[in-house]
Amino acid sequence: MKPAPFAYVRAETLEQVFALLDQHGDDARILAGGQSLMATLNMRLSAPTVLIDITGLSDLAHISTDGTTLRIGALARHNQVMESAEVRELAPLISAAMPHVAHHAIRNRGTFGGSIAFADPAAELPAVARALNASLVLQSHTGTRTVHANDFFLGLFETALEPGEVLVGAEIPAIADGERTAFMELARRHGDYAIVGLAVQGRLDGDSFADMRLSFFGAGDRPMLAENAAAALNGRANKEATLKAAQDALDDDLDPMADLNGPAEMKMHLARVLTKRALAQFAA
Amino acid sequence: MDQNVDITLTVNGQQVSRRIPARTSLVDFVRYELELTGSHVGCEHGVCGACTIRVDGQIVRGCLTLAAQADGAVVETIEGRSDSGEIADLQQAFHERNAVQCGFCTPGMLLTAEELLAKNPKPSRDEIREFISGNYCRCTGYQAIVDAIERVATERNG
């Protein structure tokens, strides 16, 4: 299908974006890479009257670091993030997730910030942001504020972004010495949205899990941090009984929705299977 | 606000200027405004890859990119890449290995294969499969397409 008619503005400054958002309110949508938004417009799931294209704001496309924090601009393209040596060094979990983010042609245009702001519960990057304790930088004409990823994703496609605010980037704590990662997802076709998946970061102290963060996608109305499963792992040895306890704890952590892929029970089963596999990858 | 936009871009080496509805996708623009019908419209939501077009040297989904966003860009379609002769070996291999049946996916497959070989001149069969995973083919079962790309990679590496 074709999108409903709209006006198009290619913004040259953030101030111009804020002014347009003030003027048009809910009738305006921000267009970044467009790889999710254009699909929803083509299917007429959304019909804004103004699209504000922010891809010309090249200041928002930078990846930088001071060694302790990795900063990824909202407009960094997926393939740019995937190929970044800084990202690989300081946030290897992101590098592990990127090959699963859609397909090459989509990664040429899709943006890091766009994926997070769109907040698809089955998308990789929102879940990775929670696993990494990322902070999201939101800017409006009244100033800038920083929101922890745990407080950013509020529900199905719903975020802490207020009217008039723009996600301008993410701040990610660099991986610490001794921290390990794992990333795994199940999809019908490589690059498609996951049926269910998870991103893991934490430590192994000797044989015991510590500071575990297990963040699931496709397992609820938003990226889901499995706190009960993490509690079942922390301080315990990497043994069958520990893994079983973590799998069992997922019942209290996840709330998958039935969809075309299958019922919620099937997704819970897959989440348990993936958890065990991902923890094996984590410990390897 | 005005729902039309003025755009000027280079398509297959020629500069073109048009006034178009802002909602026009890049693939509809090249097909209906420029009558370059080698880029195909399949799913219109980014799944099938039939609309693959090159913008500033990178393949994109023509259905998820607005023509308005290509203002000032260098756009190449399968017609331009074919005329350049640079993918003649891929086209020949697709033909000889029977990697083309109905042909609907073929322009997108060729542009995707071209970008793969530019980035990774010696891909494994798994890497070929992963790279073309965003392009649906409903005829061949992919085996012949992977064969054709693999053969060109081998031949180009002498």
- pLDDT score of A166: 98
The stretch B133-140 carries a mean pLDDT of 96
Nearest CA in chain B to A23: B1
- For A61-79, letters b (16+ CB in 10 Å) and e give bebebeeeebbbbbbbbbb
Residue % of chain A over a pLDDT of 90: 97
Per-residue confidence band for A192, with pLDDT thresholds at 50, 70 and 90: confident
- pLDDT score of B158: 82
- A71-84 pLDDT, tens digit each: 999 999 999 999 99
Q: Is the pLDDT of residue A190 over 90?
A: no
Instruction: Answer yes or no: do A109 and B134 touch at CB < 8 A.
Output: no
Instruction: Answer yes or no: do A3 and B23 touch at CB < 8 A.
Output: yes
> Among residues 238-267 of chain A, which lie with CB inside 8 Å of chain B?
none
Residues 6+ apart with CB under 8 A from A265: none
- Write out chain A residues lying below 8 Å of B3, CB-based: 5-7
Residue % of chain B over a pLDDT of 90: 99
- pLDDT score of A238: 97
- pLDDT score of A191: 86
- Write out chain B residues lying below 8 Å of A8, CB-based: 5, 22, 66, 68
Q: Is the pLDDT of residue A1 over 90?
A: no
- pLDDT score of A59: 96
Residues of B near A (Cβ–Cβ under 8 Å) read 1-3, 5, 21-23, 25, 28, 44-47, 49, 52, 58-61, 63-66, 68-69, 71, 112, 115-116, 129-131, 133-135
3-state secondary structure string, chain A? CCCCCCEEEECCCHHHHHHHHHHHHHHEEEECCCCCHHHHHHCCCCCCCEEEECCCCHHHHCEEECCCEEEEECCCEHHHHHCCHHHHHHCHHHHHHHHHCCCHHHHCCCEHHHHHHHCCCCCHHHHHHHHCCCEEEEEECCEEEEEEHHHHEEECCEECCCCCCEEEEEEEECCCCCEEEEEEEECCCCCCCCCEEEEEEEEEECCEEEEEEEEEECCCCCCEECHHHHHHHECCECCHHHHHHHHHHHHHHCCCCCECCECHHHHHHHHHHHHHHHHHHHHC
Structural contact between residues A170 and A134, judged by C-beta atoms closer than 8 angstroms: yes
Per-residue confidence band for B1, with pLDDT thresholds at 50, 70 and 90: confident
Instruction: Answer yes or no: do A103 and B49 touch at CB < 8 A.
Output: yes
Is residue A52 less than 8 Å (CB to CB) from chain B? no
- Model confidence, pTM: 0.96
The stretch A7-11 carries a mean pLDDT of 98
Mean of all residue pLDDT scores within chain B: 97
Instruction: Answer yes or no: do B112 and A104 touch at CB < 8 A.
Output: yes
ipTM: 0.96
Q: How far is CA B22 from the centre of its chain?
A: 22
- A198-228 pLDDT, tens digit each: 999 999 999 999 999 999 999 999 999 999 9
Q: Is the pLDDT of residue A189 over 90?
A: no
Sort residue B112 into left (φ over 0), alpha (ψ -120 to 50) or beta: alpha
The stretch A35-61 carries a mean pLDDT of 96
- B30-65 pLDDT, tens digit each: 999 999 999 999 999 999 999 999 999 999 999 999
- Write out chain A residues lying below 8 Å of B133, CB-based: 103, 189-191
